[in-house]
Structure 1
């Protein structure tokens, strides 16, 4: 499946009436598992990229090259449409253009560009937002930089939690007028907040994780939400599994007695062993 085909599949989700939860993925195996289990879309977050590639916290020390390289590994492993968190676009509006070029070439179906002031500014560390004018410049730059019109450019803001609902509504209006394909919000905790935003934009909405009761997928879908993140538990679970397995081995547990090990059949499936075996038979004279 071509990258454009994947992008069109993602756009079909945005154009639909349902809200879906993406599978949080971080490498080729996790992306294959999500695809095999029927997830309609994968999500590769900036925080998870930093954890996976650098073993560093989510403080924007990852480079665009490192991010794009891991994305290529993920998109090469299957056909799952991939939504990625491109943070602030790794700089100003010109850097956003470069980010779009690199991530489009890496095969993403959609990317978010946010209006948070990143990386952290000198001072007390409080979250700050760009002016609407600067945020608009980044959105327009992203739209201008893409070469495949099927690529989805998502304008992202955390204004609800940082500057308030009124500012979030104003930003939603502005990014809609600028031509963004979808809007991503973090910090929405009530249906009333979601309705206030929905009243001001016809664009499909993507939500970051929320602790609020938004009526489940049906309730969110009725209010224009097409993708709702649940968090990034798969990577967290993988960290715990590796920690517990190594700890058990270090403390003397025999490999045959380890808990939580995958079956041989599962390992062959996620590594696509049968496909490689067929290639060996076809091209290398093997059995």
Structure 2
């Protein structure tokens, strides 16, 4: 596996799409992505709750399943780190042991609140977040495990957000992330903060970035994360599928037959590799 830091050293940004488990990770890898993102928001949705209801151990378990099937660098959205600086120590150790390549920590109140999903955030004092980042840096065992320091304050006060980000960099954050979807604010952030920076897409996804990836790179962005598009696609596909099934209609497979899609699924999970092991060890010629 190429370390995430090595990928971010290139001029153009690395794009990391949301994955929710081993199968989606393998599909993303086959599509050509070089890094993956385990987003708390969408994992929460997948469990029919929110990221405020998640915990560190269930995210680590998901990482074990994903990393067993796919060796691309995996980024953890750890929200507020599931506690204060003392709790962050275990969060980082657990994330690193589970095989994550990076952890994203944001300066939000813990326990995180569901109101985050309707644009209402509760930032902690900058001093509290600085201590979390310092402990995250101290807790990691390898410098290849990257710490992402995040603040959402660009929505209200860009100057304060930049000040916070500088403090997080001084505390040891490897990557800075100031949440905004506004091109003008992104340019200010890029001129004010050192690379590498992270950018997260809005619900419109990668198809409607505020500026082209090459221009984002000019402003220090080296990591672009899409945290929700696959979840929206999955939700729509399942909703349509179950509606069709309830009406005794064929499932909508976009022109593919059920048999062809099943064969494609077997290729995704590499069923042939498992069959080959059985042929060699447990199956006998009949």
Structure-2 change in CA distance of 1:160 and 1:147 (3 Å): same
Contact 2:15 2:223 in 1 (8 A): yes
Tell me how far apart the structure 1 counterparts of residues 92 and 248 of structure 2 sit (CA, whole Å).
Answer: 49
Q: Deviations over 1:238-270 (max 9, x none)?
A: 1222222222122122xxx33215623311111
Q: What is the TM-score normalised by the length of structure 1? A: 0.88
Tell me how far apart the structure 2 counterparts of residues 111 and 208 of structure 1 sit (CA, whole Å).
Answer: 15
Q: Which consecutive unaligned segments of at least 5 residues does structure 1 have? A: none
Q: How far is the alpha carbon of 1:98 from its aligned partner? A: 0.8
Residue 259 of structure 1: which of 240, 245, 252 is its match? 252
Q: What is the TM-score normalised by the length of structure 2? A: 0.88
Could you say what secondary structure the match of 2:75 adopts?
strand
Structure-2 change in CA distance of 1:83 and 1:130 (3 Å): same
Q: Counterparts in 2 of 1:235-250, with a 5 A limit?
A: 235-250=231-246
Query: Do structure 1's residue 282 and structure 2's residue 280 form an aligned pair?
Result: yes
Structure-2 change in CA distance of 1:107 and 1:174 (3 Å): same
Could you say what secondary structure the match of 2:201 adopts?
coil
Runs of 4+ in structure 1 over 6 Å off: none
Q: Counterparts in 2 of 1:83-232, with a 5 A limit?
A: 83-120=75-112, 126-162=120-156, 164-190=157-183, 192-210=184-202, 214-232=210-228
Tell me how far apart the structure 2 counterparts of residues 93 and 157 of structure 1 sit (CA, whole Å).
Answer: 17
Q: Deviations over 1:170-225 (max 9, x none)?
A: 112111111211011212412x3223323333230001224786421111011110
Contact 1:185 1:208 in 2 (8 A): no
Query: Do structure 1's residue 39 and structure 2's residue 33 form an aligned pair?
Result: yes
Q: Counterparts in 2 of 1:7-86, with a 5 A limit?
A: 8=3, 10-52=4-46, 54-58=47-51, 60-86=52-78
Could you say what secondary structure the match of 1:154 adopts?
strand
Tell me how far apart the structure 2 counterparts of residues 267 and 13 of structure 1 sit (CA, whole Å).
Answer: 29
Count of paired positions = 274
Aligned-pair RMSD on alpha carbons?
Answer: 2.3
Could you say what secondary structure the match of 1:184 adopts?
strand
